[in-house]
Chain A
Amino acid sequence: MSLITTILGRLVKAAITLLAIAVLNFFLIHAAPGDPAAVLAGEAGAADPLFIAQLRERFGLDQPLYVQLWSYVKNVLTLDLGYSFRQGMPVYDLIAQRLPATLLLTLSSFVISLSLGIAFGVAAAARVGKASDSVLTTIALLFYATPLYWAALMAVLVFSVQLGWLPGFGYETVGSGYSGLARAWDILQHLILPALTLGLFFMAVYMRMTRASMLEVSQMDFVKTARAKGLSGPVIRRRHILRNALLPVVTLAGLQAGQLIGGAVLTETVFAWPGIGRLMFESLEARDYNTILGVFLVSAAMVIVFNILTDIVYRIVDPRIGAKS
């Protein structure tokens, strides 16, 4: 089967899956107690039943559930994610506004954890049994076991509050009026702590997996063949062992990539990072149905897209997949 037919097939399945997820989310949200009208009315300080009824009518919440579902699905199909009454703007715009910050955070943490994890894993495997290997694996175990929010708080305390090296919260310095390179530099400084904290866990996971996988592959027959050819140690490690050892790491990286949008709620909250994660959290508290559903849908789409991307990458690195005939 050629790559293109595979991708087409996957895309068709993805569209169906996504629609099913949208419907499921809709019911899930409506199963939760409370509705936005009650919350809005409560915040306005008026629990007058008439006012609440008016609000419900305005938002269409007085309609039967299946009518609400139908209009939701219709809107989703036309890429209209509805209006956030809470934030007073279309959900689509809201997400588009928040998405860059989240992607910047999660993608940098993804790249950091993947590259450092693999590099440390290779280094540890090359020194297996030696003191430096033990040090690396112990540190990895520590990162692996540390709760994310604790690491985040400690990072803020140490590097921001105590040492004052890096800003401890926010996306950029508010009211600084930076532009161009100066602004990029400012954002980068804000990015370092949250990106590193978010990446620690996966870096540890990648390192442990790369190390174990390298050691396993180095016992295989073809490595002996490579040595019998007269290849040098570094060449064998790079060309024969590493390439084969990376296959399971690719699988895992695909899993992490799927969480690029939804996986940073904690980090964004601790570091006051204005991303999707915080938007989701705020919307949940405010019963902002439309926004929650929008975020859910975009997250789900991301998971599916990265699953497909992982499969494609997998087929490129491993010729055996998809070419069995």
Chain B
Amino acid sequence: MTDAILSIDSLTIDLPIGADRPHAVEDVSFDLNKGEILCVVGESGSGKSMTANALMGLLPDGVTVGKGRAMFDGKDVLTLPEAQKQAMRGARIGMIFQEPMTALNPLMRIGDQIAEVFAAHNLLSGSERRARALALVKEVGLPDPEKIIRAYPFQLSGGQRQRAMIAMALALEPEILIADEPTTALDVTTQAQILRLILALREKHGMAVMFITHDFGVVAEIADRVIVMRYGQIVEAGIAKQVLESPQHEYTRALLDAIPTGTVPELAPITTAPALEIRHLNKIYRTGGSPFRAAREVRAVNDVSLTIAKGEVVGLVGESGSGKSTLGRAVVRLVTPDSGQVLVGGVDMAALDENELRKQRHRVQMVFQDPYASLNPRHRILRTLSDGPMAKGVSKQQAHKRALDLLEIVGLGADAATRFPHEFSGGQRQRIGIARALAMDPELIIADEAVSALDVSIQAQVLELLADLRRQMGLSILFITHDLRVAAQVCDRIAVMQYGRLVEVGPVRDVFHAPKQAYTRELLAAVPGAGWAMEKEDATA
């Protein structure tokens, strides 16, 4: 541990007055060694990103370094004058961010954005910068480099944009790369590729990587050492293997336990009566049709047939663009399929006209991904929960009584009824979202990435709630997710979707342990920490 390249000593970051706590980060000390990958793990609000931003001198307005030092190359980077910080950024410490979609300037060509790094530090001539940009684009494995450097960000996929970001961060061969949740917004297979890329680049350039993540799977995949943070403090630090295998602090243990593993639940007894029958469903999106050009077609759902029995939970798994959300929306008739049937309790939702549809809507209810955007911010919870039933014809009194009961059932308590959505946390809002769906007494619930936006420990609680409800009420659920581990935890059967088609359907155990299709195997292998999870499962079995 002697060759620390960066050593942070009792760093405290002050939050502005009126924040929920006085310090974002409190008395944090750690070293980053030459050439190592250090993972900083924590849930939202743990202060992990603030630490990184402080090192870069990129703290948001009002947030300041209270005390502490961060020694890098004999100097304290926290107290450097702004001009020197600016010279250091990009050149000696590079950084990549979570959202590749928004982290690139939408109006600038990729090549220009990379070349700009050299310009910022007054290096090379114009043509040399372009040549280097091209070489970098090649190095990070972007296809067709000549074309990519002339492309705009919107023409690239999420994974490609993240590669472009990495190219920028590596342009000047920094000694330290700070990666702030760089793979969180990506699909599993893309995530696996980016992780491999970072490992390969570390191998080649020997830079130290401070990798911020909330995902222990990612830790298992790439970390040399780990720091676990909570409420701005380090609760545990150590060699990755040790922390994963024998966590000392209870919070680390709780986080590790909360991770959905490949552990497969017992099959629930399933009746044969179907709650949902999808027959040969098709949905084609056409874009850009005009008198001057033929329309472009995307087969979002391509001849899909799927049955969900009463009381069964089926996981619909796939990467972004696989058509899983479109399928879910077609079942609720938020999109109207082009052909095929969606039978819910014998009623074909796909064939109803406007009027009939309004009467039948209550049969299928949806729980959405974003707990912040899916509740009307101007309605009190009671109204959110009772508007639907009242529109269906339930009396106001009954609807209100049912709403209060449901709030008890989802674990919020009846006094939540008079409050507004902004008074709740993300996990609590998702409970409200579930209560809202249940208020309609649906025959089927579609949960579209319902836990994806939540921290792992909150995720575990919401999944537990769903499992409870399902036991008590015999709910039938179509559980749409990109996360195989989550799917394994709550589902009876798994349906894997790719390019609008169902490629594999089967009981969780079969799909996980004996996948028939190559694509399913690929997906499973791409899950970060897949090997480690298997070991963990074997150990507990």
Q: Chain A nearest CB: distance from B59 CB in Å?
A: 11
Asked, given contacts A224-B97, A225-B165, whether A325 binds B121 with beta carbons under 8 Å apart, the answer is: no
Asked, given contacts A225-B165, A324-B287, whether A244 binds B292 with beta carbons under 8 Å apart, the answer is: no
Indicate whether B56 reaches chain A with its CB closer than 8 angstroms: yes
Chain A, 48-77, CB within 8 A of any chain B CB: none
Query: What residue of chain A has the Cβ atom nearest to residue B94's Cβ?
Result: A228
Q: Which single member of A1, A224, A225, A317 contacts B107 (CB below 8 Å)?
A: A317
Indicate whether B104 reaches chain A with its CB closer than 8 angstroms: yes
- Residue-wise, chain A 210-249 has the 8 Å CB interface mask toward B (1 for contact) of 0000000000111011111111100100011001100000
Asked, given contacts A1-B293, A324-B287, whether A229 binds B120 with beta carbons under 8 Å apart, the answer is: yes
Cα–Cα, bound, A231→B106 (Å): 17
Indicate whether A319 reaches chain B with its CB closer than 8 angstroms: yes
| Chain B positions within 8 Å of A224 at CB level | 58, 97, 103
Cα–Cα, bound, A240→B119 (Å): 14
Contact A231 B95, beta carbon cutoff 8 Å: no
Indicate whether B290 reaches chain A with its CB closer than 8 angstroms: yes
Asked, given contacts A229-B116, A317-B107, whether A1 binds B290 with beta carbons under 8 Å apart, the answer is: yes
| Chain B positions within 8 Å of A318 at CB level | 106-107
- Residue-wise, chain A 304-325 has the 8 Å CB interface mask toward B (1 for contact) of 0000000000000111100111
The dominant DSSP class at the A interface is helix
Asked, given contacts A222-B103, A319-B152, whether A228 binds B58 with beta carbons under 8 Å apart, the answer is: yes
| Chain B positions within 8 Å of A244 at CB level | 105-107
| Chain B positions within 8 Å of A9 at CB level | 290-292
Q: Bin chain A's interface residue count.
A: 20 to 34
Q: Bin chain B's interface residue count.
A: 35 or more
Chain B, 102-117, CB within 8 A of any chain A CB: 102-108, 116-117
Chain A, 255-308, CB within 8 A of any chain B CB: none
- Across chains A and B, the number of contacting residue pairs, with CB separation under 8 Å, is 90
Indicate whether A5 reaches chain B with its CB closer than 8 angstroms: yes
Stretch in B9-17, B81-89, B138-146, B413-421 with 4+ CB within 8 Å of A: B81-89
Q: Chain B nearest CB: distance from A15 CB in Å?
A: 15
Cα–Cα, bound, A191→B179 (Å): 58
Asked, given contacts A229-B89, A230-B91, A232-B86, whether A319 binds B107 with beta carbons under 8 Å apart, the answer is: yes
Asked, given contacts A224-B58, A319-B152, whether A5 binds B116 with beta carbons under 8 Å apart, the answer is: no
Cα–Cα, bound, A1→B296 (Å): 12
Asked, given contacts A230-B87, A320-B152, A325-B288, whether A222 binds B296 with beta carbons under 8 Å apart, the answer is: no
Asked, given contacts A227-B89, A229-B89, A243-B107, whether A325 binds B287 with beta carbons under 8 Å apart, the answer is: yes
- Residue-wise, chain B 256-285 has the 8 Å CB interface mask toward A (1 for contact) of 000000000000000000000000000000
Contact B95 A222, beta carbon cutoff 8 Å: no
Query: What residue of chain B has the Cβ atom nearest to residue A128's Cβ?
Result: B61
Query: What residue of chain B has the Cβ atom nearest to residue A247's Cβ?
Result: B107
Query: What residue of chain A has the Cβ atom nearest to residue B95's Cβ?
Result: A228
Query: What residue of chain A has the Cβ atom nearest to residue B100's Cβ?
Result: A221
Which B residues are within 8 Å of any A CB, using their own CB?
A: 56, 58, 86-91, 94-95, 97, 99, 102-108, 116-117, 120-121, 152, 154-155, 165, 168-169, 287-288, 290-293, 296
7 intermolecular pairs with C-beta atoms under 8 Å apart: A1-B292, A221-B102, A225-B168, A229-B117, A230-B87, A230-B120, A325-B288
Which A residues are within 8 Å of any B CB, using their own CB?
A: 1, 5, 9, 220-222, 224-232, 235, 239-240, 243-244, 317-320, 323-325
